[in-house]
Structure 1
Amino acid sequence: TVAKREKAGRGRGGRVVVRSRGGGHKQRLRAIDFMRTTPGPHDVVRIEYDPGRSAHIALIKSRDPTLAQPWSYILACDGLRAGHIVESFRSGIPDGLIEGFTDSPAPTKRSLKLLANSSPAAPQTALAGVPDAQDLASAAASTNLSLGVLRARTLKPGNVLPLRLIPAGTLIHAISLSPVGRASLVRSAGTFGQVVAHDEKGLWTQVRLQSGEVRNIMQRCVATIGKVSNPDWKHRNLGKAGRARWLGRRPHVRGVAMNACDHPHGGGRGKSKGGKHPRSVWGWLTKGRRTRRSSDRDGNKFVVKERPRGIQRNN
């Protein structure tokens, strides 16, 4: 852990960029492993509280004696307890883990293009290599059995798997957007994503996020099985103003209580905002103003279905 330096809502220029921030109890930042690159089994030592996030964190220790640093923190999934074992299969399924199963990496656009441009095999070669129907049936049955054993072995809460090995309908969290990147999606308390479908070409996987948005993510990206811990976070009640001050939240002053020089709603005699539409302190229209740029509304080609808004969300 490292000490957290308080900014009190100030930017790099020293001026306030976020109002109603300041004070609060001293905190230390926990270094969370969002990469999960170390393979092999890890023992969960304990579940801890992290003041820097809404979810709980888990302290794990690797069983590999050759590692210089076997200890690390990860996001605790719902149901994870001390004594459980978690593994990371980010680099794929190791050979020999499941008898009869051989892991093949997901194809890339370049490999599919090279395969499409390659010359077809000669007719006599293709006819000579046609396998028997009974051999095909036995091979398919063996593959399905190995795949079932693999899923029973690896699909456990807290394990990290590539999206290509996660079946549709599975709840996931801590999703990466790059095959070599850190987990960046679905990390808040009680949230989860769901695998919707896999692309026939083996390039993309459709994932439904917590907001209801469905987007394409590369099958070489990874995710953690299960949903994030502490699902009752949304029901919390601070109870008193002092607890908000412990968290670094200062009082929020209403615009109608200010002077005219400090807010568009300020000034006047009594509680009046001058007949204006509700505005922010900077003069922007509030109450439903869109925060996304109009140029980005249809610019993200990875989004298959936009998140529901307004009446759609209530229904």
Structure 2
Amino acid sequence: EKLSKSGGRNNNGRITTRHIGGGHKQHYRLVDFKRNKDGIPAVVERLEYDPNRSANIALVLYKDGERRYILAPKGLKAGDQIQSGVDAAIKAGNALPMRNIPVGSTVHNVEMKPGKGGQMARSAGAYVQIVARDGSYVTLRLRSGEMRKVPVDCRATLGEVGNAEHMLRVLGKAGAARWRGVRPTVRGTAMNPVDHPKRWKAVTRSLCALGPVVQRSFLT
């Protein structure tokens, strides 16, 4: 599915978000966040780069012949077997309802409502930890330290999302940012007042920016 670019403009053509525009063409990959093919084993065919997210994705082939993309968890490689459902083994890449996952496990792609599909912990290196199970709810600890309760029938995928080194990537040159659709950031002091985002305010510059200051001594 081909993606269209907005260039940071709204429906009136006005810039609402700065520093967006250009970039390489992209196609959207339909990723299976629901993991609802229960009891059907699948084999990982390959891992792929996805320009629409920081995590890598894995193309999996189910035993019934269907292929789907899933988020690639840490340690998953081509040839591995994965499965969904209450009978799935406790190993990275398998998706189960959280009533069947041991307390203390780290999971990702966590649902907030049963059957809606994973919404939490989907970016590169993300995970949440199951810290308690009480009745019809489980308590999750997010990486921010926030504690959140969700129904026990919500699904989650075991393990953490792979490609945790995503933030360590060095782009190397300005052009690499332009490939990703990031435009330059211009300092406000380098703009004319009419071009400044808060154009009703005067754009001031420090004395140092105006050049050297000649000091005159009045001592004789």
Q: Is TM more than 0.5 here?
A: yes
Say which of 197, 202, 207 aligns to 2:140: 207
Are 1:63 and 2:63 matched, yes or no?
A: yes
* Aligned counterparts, 1:4-153, within 5 A: 4-39=3-38, 40-64=40-64, 70-89=66-85, 92-93=86-87
Shift of 1:36: 1.1
Extract unaligned runs of 5+ from structure 1.
94-152, 273-315
Shift of 1:13: 3.0
Q: Which runs of 4+ in 1 moved over 4 A?
A: 267-270
Match of 1:239 in 2: 172
Q: Deviations over 1:227-284 (max 9, x none)?
A: 0010111211111101000000000111222233424462457548xxxxxxxxxxxx
Are 1:193 and 2:131 matched, yes or no?
A: no
Q: 1:265 to 1:167 in 2, by over 3 A?
A: farther
- Mapped to 1, the partners of 2:75 and 2:141 lie a distance apart of 22
Say which of 244, 252, 257 aligns to 2:190: 257
Match of 1:222 in 2: 155
Which residue type is aligned with residue 80 of structure 2?
H
Say which of 167, 170, 174 aligns to 2:109: 174
How many equivalent pairs are there?
204
Q: 1:169 to 1:258 in 2, by over 3 A?
A: same
Are 1:266 and 2:196 matched, yes or no?
A: no
Secondary structure at the aligned position of 1:181 is classed as coil
- The TM-score, its normalising length taken from structure 1, stands at 0.62
Extract unaligned runs of 5+ from structure 2.
211-220
Shift of 1:63: 0.1
- The TM-score, its normalising length taken from structure 2, stands at 0.88
- Mapped to 1, the partners of 2:153 and 2:45 lie a distance apart of 30
Which residue type is aligned with residue 64 of structure 1?
D
Secondary structure at the aligned position of 1:83 is classed as coil
Shift of 1:4: 1.3
Match of 2:99 in 1: 164
Secondary structure at the aligned position of 1:72 is classed as strand
- Mapped to 1, the partners of 2:107 and 2:205 lie a distance apart of 54
- Mapped to 2, the partners of 1:166 and 1:265 lie a distance apart of 59
- More helix per residue: 1
CA RMSD of superposed structures (Å): 1.6
Match of 1:184 in 2: 119
Q: Quick check: which has more Rg, 1 or 2?
A: 1
